[in-house]
Amino acid sequence: MKELRFTLIGDGSSDKALVNIIKWLLGDLYPHLPIYGQYADFRKLPNPPVNGDVLAQVESARRYYTFDILFYHRDAESNKKNIVQARKAEVLSQITSEHSSKTVCVVPVVMMETWLLISESAIKKAAGNRNYKGVINLPSPTTLENIKDPKDILHDYLKEVSGLKKRNLKNFNVHQAVHLVAENINDFSLLRHLESFKVFEADLKGVMKGIGY
């Protein structure tokens, strides 16, 4: 079976964590399909597109990366009603129909870190303290999208669980730890409780059907 290749465009390098979620979902929906995914790091290009210039970013991804499906991440930055559809419209209105037929928008509510607040064990491993005995009060999956500051919450948990103090804590790379949280979650099925993830999954199935899967 032909390998499916995908590329992810994000707002910043931290969004690379979404590659793990995309790979998991594709593997869950199409378990016999070989998958290769990559993050489009435009910083390495000679003339990188401006962050937020959707068309330029998509054109650069098509020029420098090989893919069957393009994922475009845009944080909702809000939990207002219909915000996911509004953010999707902002992205898709800036690209051609040729591009949009192969593009899946990834719009977490409120931001990417919302989708990582689902595993205590992953947070412990990412913080370098698997034996942490304290309580990690993760939100219920059904209430995750009501949180206003998921990034701060995740960062605070990682710092607390690390057990580091003063200078050592100051040197703790919390952004790298966020990537490790994503890498240490083997099952993202809890995200299916979230409306934003339901939209993402439905859109992915639609694009996959359109390209013959």
Angstrom distance (rounded) from CA 123 to CA 121: 5
DSSP E strands in the chain: the ranges are: 4-9, 35-39, 69-73, 103-106
Distance, CA of 61 to CA of 69 (rounded, Å): 11
Indicate the residue type of 79: N
Instruction: Give CATH 3.40.50 domain extents, the chain.
Output: 4-109+194-210
- Is residue 111 left, alpha or beta, with left meaning phi > 0 and alpha meaning psi from -120 to 50? beta
Q: What is the pTM for the complete model shown?
A: 0.95
Distance CA 153, CA 95 (A): 34
Report the alpha-carbon distance of residue 125 to residue 185 in Å, rounded: 10
- Say yes or no: domain 4-109+194-210 is CATH 3.30.450: no
- Partners of 4 in beta bridges: 35
The three-class DSSP label of residue 56 is helix
The residue behind tokens 């016999």 is 32
pLDDT tens digit sequence for 153-169: 999 999 999 999 999 99
Q: What is the pLDDT of residue 1?
A: 59
* The residue type at 206: G
- What are the pLDDT digits (tens) for 158-202? 999 999 999 999 999 999 999 999 999 999 999 999 999 999 999
Range scoring the smallest mean pLDDT among 35-39, 42-46, 122-126: 42-46
CB 71 within 8 A of CB 40: no
